[in-house]
Amino acid sequence: MTEVQLKALILLLMFLMVVALFDGLYVLFKDNGAPESKRTFHRLVIRAGLATALLITMVYGFYTGKLQSSAPWNKAPVTQQP
């Protein structure tokens, strides 16, 4: 899997998580909080599965070196020459 494919997979998983979030919200309003309906719980399980897949994908990317952090606190310290 190339770096571009890995980033595309991460973006796809994030998009699917947002879709699952709004789908759960829709089901919650549609069922009016009916206790016998387990559709909201099923949407939560799907979202948790997507989050787990996203985490595993990111760990894989960092472990293999295909993903790198560009956060400012991860840069090498700048030394001043006297």
Per-residue pLDDT in tens (0 to 9) along the chain, 82 residues: 899 999 999 999 999 999 999 999 999 888 886 777 788 889 999 999 999 999 999 999 999 999 988 888 877 777 777 6
* All structural domains of the chain with their residue ranges: 3-68
Write phi, then psi, for 35 (nearest 5 degrees): -65, -25
- Which of left, alpha, beta for 81 (phi over 0: left; psi -120 to 50: alpha)? beta
Dist. CA 21–CA 24, nearest whole Å? 5
